[in-house]
Structure 1
Amino acid sequence: MMSEQGIIEELYDEYRNDVYRFSLFFTHNKQEAEDITQETFIKVMKNIHQLKDVSKKKTWILSIAKNTAIDLIRKQKLINFLPQLLKGNDHKSHYVATDESRLINTENWRELQNAILTLKPHYRSIVILRSLNEISVKETAEILGCTEGKVRVDFHRAINQLKKELIIIKGGNYREESKSL
């Protein structure tokens, strides 16, 4: 029987790329994706005893990654809101381009990424898991803690919102390129 440390190392080796990719698509920030990946596996290490069904380890780990990413967004919103409360001014956070975004040089990819970032976190998670990570409806439902029907409906709604956002981004000249999503 493998030791707990060995199991954790195996899980890390097997799923770190999936967690990092999910985190990168979720945040569009290389440093934040690395932080989420690290924090996810710290949580995996602390909670490995809660993994009851080894056949669902990927779902379990990606659920932890999703929750960690959402926690990060909540913390950032709080951090960005605190100066407004303390100073009473209109302090606004602004997007700072990362090295990762500079490396991704195709206009369509940037437009898609920007459109994904406009989605609410739940829709963003569904699009990332279903379209970009190619996770099944069933596994997506397990990761997000909802029904398969909700995943299907919300995925459809998220795709429609993405299409609308891409039309806005492209200035009304959007081509039906997103049907492959």
Structure 2
Amino acid sequence: MIEELYDEFRDDVYHFSLYFTNNKQEAEDITQETFIKVMKNIHQLKDVSKKKTWLLSIAKNTAIDLKRKQKLINFLPQLLKGNGHKSHCIATDENRLINTENWRELQNAILTLKLHYRSVVILRALKELSVKETAEILGCTEGKVRVDFHRAINQLKKELIINEGGDFHEESKSK
């Protein structure tokens, strides 16, 4: 059944992904990831008559996840700026953030934050909401959002530097 779905809907998923990203490589990645998810979750397809809708909703969610990941990866170098390390270390970190392992490290670092800090980072950095909007959603003051966002960013910096180990962490200790 998977092969049939792939043959029948591969082009639909790819074209959706291409229109969504306007990038051939990303569209191919989304298409591939979509069908991997389909293989893992084929048992959830209850109504075979809605298979195209089901597939495209998986493609949509996969594309959104990719864009969120990219936003967070693009945001992370800002976390590292102003941390007192040499600028060549920052450039090296920016380059390393592009790969999947670093994405997992970032996700793990975010998971170490207490829930409120995690919420603030997600709403402010990922969802790009204003301080006011974030405060309304979380039911707190704008001042608390600003302070907690600053603290969360500092905690993320520390967590990412500590988890890197190796040269970057050791260099920061020795200076």
Structure ranking higher on relative contact order (CA contacts 8 Å, 6+ apart): 1
Larger radius of gyration: 2
TM range (shorter): 0.3 to 0.5
| Structure holding more helix per residue | 2
What is the TM-score with the length of structure 1 in the denominator? Answer: 0.45
| TM value normalised by structure 2 | 0.47
